[in-house]
Amino acid sequence: MSSAEELAARVREGEIRLHELEDHADADAAAAARRLLVAEASGADLETTGAYAFEAAAAEPNVENMIGAVQIPLGVAGPVTVSGGALSGERYLPLATTEGALVASVNRGCGVLDAAGGATARVTKTGMTRAPAFKTDGIVESEALAAWTRDNADRLREAAESTTSHGEVTDVTPYVVGNNVYLRFRYDTKDAMGMNMATIATGEACELIEAETDASLVALSGNLCTDKKPAAINAIEGRGRSVTADVTIPAAVVADRLHTAPEAVAEINTRKNLVGSAKAGSLGFNAHVANVVAAMFLATGQDAAQVVEGSNAITTAEVTDDGDLYVSVSIASLEVGTVGGGTKLPTQAEGLEILGVRGGGNPAGSNADALAEAIAVGALAGELSLLAALGSRHLSSAHADLGR
């Protein structure tokens, strides 16, 4: 009997719990035993799931009850020239996706950006947020807590920053709703996406608040943060990185490479991305920014659930006085890191290496800024290509040819 079969037998007999297998064997054997049990229960053939190319132990901080790995095809778009605040030069953009035509589209967009001399990008605001919910006796006590927070900003900062050597508190804003008070802590988390960092730091600050006021903590996350849910506060105030990429494309390039005209792209953008989105009550005034955010998040080890916030983007397009096409994409809440989370996993770390932003930056925070700028440039390329495909009526034929 193999060690995986022996382990599986012990789970069947109730001697070991499924999630405790790593206490009795190395992580790869534990995953193999779970595959046997899951295959037996479901009838699924898990051979490919088990054919992963890294040591299971490397994924221990990232997943529980591991049975293997899902492989997502990885493509590249570019190279594209970026003139950013943190990222400069030519880069290939890694995109992990199962949507045929997506990489082709972003690749076309990158070619157009390069023909226009490259894209410009800047991070305009930084800050990961956590907003605990406190309960009070009523509005008098709520207002007192809000005032206490303002008066004790330095002590709150000191408590929170005692838990991290990188994180810095940049703001604590109280929001009062009757006998509920939400304190929205904002942190500069440098190269980390920062959700663990901000949560741990905020927990420490909450202990000070409970010790010194009559308010009681109901939930360390009170949903005004807002993490992993569509929320206007992120679109307005920003979360993670707020980042913009833009470009001005000569009309001749639009005609040659995108088979349309600046006027057509600008009109489609207004009627689709602005008016259509407004009528729909959408928070995303763009065509498919989430496509690039998701594909680059998967390729670089970001938290996939935060694609929700990454889709908070506005695309603008207008014809310049010279008859050329100006296009911009502003993503309000792009939550990215180049350390921590899934960024250490082997293929995801390679994805970061393709962009030249693996690990901590010098100065701290510059690598995460550079990653945000790369994603914004990819989103700009994708917006351009899709808007143009709608203009030249190529969307359905492109997907019939490449996406099926």
Ligand X SMILES: CC(C)(COP(=O)([O-])OP(=O)([O-])OC[C@H]1O[C@@H](n2cnc3c(N)ncnc32)[C@H](O)[C@@H]1OP(=O)([O-])[O-])[C@@H](O)C(=O)NCCC(=O)NCCSC(=O)C[C@@](C)(O)CC(=O)[O-]
Active-site residue identified among 22, 99, 143, 168 = 99
Element (H, E) at 186: strand 180-188
Q: Does 108 bind ligand X (CB under 6 A)?
A: yes
Is residue 303 part of the contact set for ligand NDP (CB under 6 A)? yes
Binding mask 79-118 for ligand NDP (x = CB under 6 A): ----------------------------------------
DSSP per-residue letters across 323-342: S-EEEEEEEEEE---SBSGG
Per CB under 6 A, the segment of 108-116, 140-148, 161-169, 232-240 that binds ligand NDP is 161-169
| SS3 (DSSP) at 187 | strand
| Neighbouring-strand partners of residue 13 | none
Minimum Å distance from CB 306 to ligand X?
Answer: 19
| Choices 36-44, 87-95, 115-123, 160-168 (CB under 6 A): range interacting with ligand NDP | 160-168
Structure tokens at 124: 């305009």
In the chain, the amino acid numbered 403 is G
Report, in Å, the least distance between residue 312 CB and ligand X: 16
Q: How wide is the angle at C-alpha 246 spanned by C-alphas 401 and 366, nearest 5°?
A: 105
Nearer to ligand NDP, 346 or 360 (CB): 360
Q: Is 350 a catalytic residue?
A: no
Instruction: Give which of 320, 315, 332 is closest to 381, Cα–Cα.
Output: 315
Using the rule CB under 6 A, is 389 a contact of ligand X?
yes
* The pair of three-digit structure tokens given for residue 295, joined into one six-digit string: 């594909």
CA nearest neighbour of 113 among 275, 325, 364, 267: 325
Say which of 28, 114, 227, 303 is annotated catalytic: 303
Residue 207 annotated among the catalytic residues of the structure: no
Return the number of other C-beta atoms located less than 10 Å from residue 20's C-beta: 12
Q: Which residues in 322-361 contact ligand X (CB under 6 A)?
A: none
286 binds, among ligand X, ligand NDP, none (CB under 5 to 8 A by kind): none
Member of 164, 199, 291, 302 binding ligand X (CB under 6 A): 291
Could you tell me if 112 and 396 are in contact, meaning their C-beta atoms sit under 8 angstroms apart? no
State the CB neighbour count (10 A cutoff) for residue 276.
14
Q: How far is CA 329 from CA 46, 282, 287, 399, in A?
A: 41, 16, 10, 24
Q: Which range binds ligand X by CB under 6 A, 191-199, 218-226, 241-249, 384-392?
A: 384-392
Residues in contact with ligand X by the rule CB under 6 A: 99, 101-105, 107-108, 111, 287-288, 291, 385-386, 389, 394-395, 398, 402
Catalytic residues: 99, 303, 399
Residues in contact with ligand NDP by the rule CB under 6 A: 164-167, 189-197, 199, 227, 303, 337, 339-341, 360, 364
